[in-house]
Amino acid sequence: MSRTFLSQLTGSFSMPAAENPTVVMMEAAYRHHGLDWRYLNCEVTPALLADAVRGARAMNWAGFNCSIPHKVAVIDHLDGLGESAQIIGAVNTVVRRGDRYIGENTDGRGFIASLPQTFDCRGRSALLLGAGGAARAIAVELALSGIGQILVLNRDAGRGRELASLISGKTAASAEAMVWDGVKKIPQQVDLVVNATSIGLYPGVSACPDIDPDSLRPEQLVADVIPNPPETAFLQAAKQRGCTVLDGLGMLVAQGALALQYWTGVEVDRSVMRRELASVFDSTE
Ligand code: NDP
């Protein structure tokens, strides 16, 4: 076969973009799997998002990720949405299918993919701390994976209620919102607890969600969306109480791996991506 000099193009549109390390794990996966693909980290202002998507179409990009602040705004420039992106109302991965750009959301699916195989969502109950973009994506995917009940604990009451009614209205799961107005105990019936807030993210690494850690039970699976540091103060507290813990680095890697699979069709090696990303985070501490 003759050699080709035309690489497949993918990337990310966000602003600010300089501190987004996704490019490192994506390019590591391309190299590892011998794929002649590129991933470009692009800083795109909201005013020029439409032009950026037109540019991607013109250059026949295979797809791209959208990060802050484009996850909702990009929808107006696409040709359709996958099921969960439609319910979540946000897109983090755009996939070229034929000559159409379809919006998908791999954030919540990345979370599901990072769950231990022994954890079967069906009929279980989850407590979500937070009701922002990450919480919304996780709640929708948990519900689509068969979770029975979702409790949403959020500081802003309206935002919490909105997420609970989205889940109750658009999925088979039941959901209830509670206002987070002081230290809360974890309800005993909950099987999974997820910190989906930004509490504990570098450099605020000593911060911990306002819950009573002694209300955690060893049978509970405790997850954090914070990828940096991977072991947050919250996960340390849960570990000390005998809980199984799940870090946000696994979710970040898994959502990237799912995007790569959408674009290339290859089920990429997540350990290669995790190693590469962890080394970036180590060097920022
Ligand atoms: P949003 O701004 O959409 O939501 C932030 C959430 O955190 C809100 O529910 C907010 O509550 C809550 N919150 C923030 N500070 C506090 C506080 N001091 N006390 C109580 N609640 C608080 O952000 P995202 O959902 O997009 O992102 C949240 C985190 O998730 C980020 O740190 C991000 O890095 C991480 N993330 C990780 C991913 C991964 O793959 N690992 C993927 C996507 C995000 P309120 O509504 O009351 O303001």
- In this prediction, residue 4 carries a pLDDT of 86
**Res 50: pLDDT:** 98
**CA 141 to CA 193: how far, in whole Å?**
15
132 lines ligand 1 (CB under 6 A): yes
**Ligand 1 centroid distance, CA of 205 (Å):** 14
Tokens 């390390």 — which residue? 21
Residue tagged 């202002």 (tokens)? 45
Distances (CA, A) of 243 to 50, 102, 200, 237, 253: 46, 39, 19, 9, 22
pLDDT tens digits, one per residue of 147-183: 999 999 999 999 999 999 999 999 999 999 999 999 9
21 lines ligand 1 (CB under 6 A): no
Give the distance (Å) from ligand 1 centre to CA of residue 25.
22
Measured in Å, residue 3 CA sits from the centre of ligand 1 at 46
In the reported structure, the alpha carbon of residue 104 is separated from the centroid of ligand 1 by a whole-number distance in angstroms of 20
**Average model confidence (pLDDT) for the chain?**
96
What is the per-residue burial (b if ≥16 Cβ within 10 Å, else e) of 28-56?
bbbeeeebebbbebbebeeeebeebbeeb
Give how far Cα 71 sits from Cα of 52, 113, 279, Å.
14, 21, 27
Ligand 1 atom closest to the Cα of residue 180 is 20
Give pLDDT tens digits for 62-86: 999 999 999 999 999 999 999 999 9
225 pocket-lining for ligand 1 (C-beta < 6 Å): yes
pLDDT above 80: residue 223: yes
pLDDT given for residue 1 in this prediction? 59
Answer yes or no: are the C-beta atoms of 246 and 223 closer than 8 Å: yes
**pLDDT tens digits along 31-60:** 999 999 999 999 999 999 999 999 999 999
Q: Hey, is 229 helix, strand or coil?
A: coil
The residues annotated with a catalytic role in the active site are: 71
Q: Render the burial of 264-279: b for 16+ CB within 10 Å, e for the rest.
A: beeebebebbbebbbe
How many whole angstroms separate alpha carbon 155 and alpha carbon 177? Answer: 10
Query: For the segment 124-145, what is each residue's pLDDT rounded down to a tens digit?
Result: 999 999 999 999 999 999 999 9
Nearest to 91 by CA among 8, 12, 195, 151: 12
pLDDT category of residue 218 using cuts at 50, 70 and 90: very high
* All domains of the chain in start order, with CATH: 8-105+250-284 (3.40.50.10860), 109-246 (3.40.50.720)
Residue 285: pLDDT over 80: no
pLDDT of residue 3: 79
Contact 151, 126 (CB under 8 A): yes
Q: How far is the CA of 68 from the centre of ligand 1 (A)?
A: 12
pLDDT value at residue 2: 72
Q: Is the CB of 104 under 6 A from ligand 1?
A: no
Q: Please state the atom number of ligand 1 nearest to the C-alpha of residue 250.
A: 41
Which pLDDT does position 284 carry in this prediction?
66
Q: What is the pTM of this model?
A: 0.95
Determine the residue of 20, 198, 226 to mutate for testing ligand 1's pocket, defined as the one with the most ligand atoms within 8 A of the Cβ atom.
198
- Residue 68 class from Cβ within 10 Å (0-12 exposed, 13-18 middle, 19+ buried)? exposed
% of residues, the chain, pLDDT over 70: 99
**Hey, what amino acid is at 83?**
E
Which residue's C-alpha comes closest to atom 9 of ligand 1? 130
Q: Is the pLDDT of residue 275 over 80?
A: yes
Q: Counting atoms of ligand 1 from 1, which one is nearest the CA of 207?
A: 18
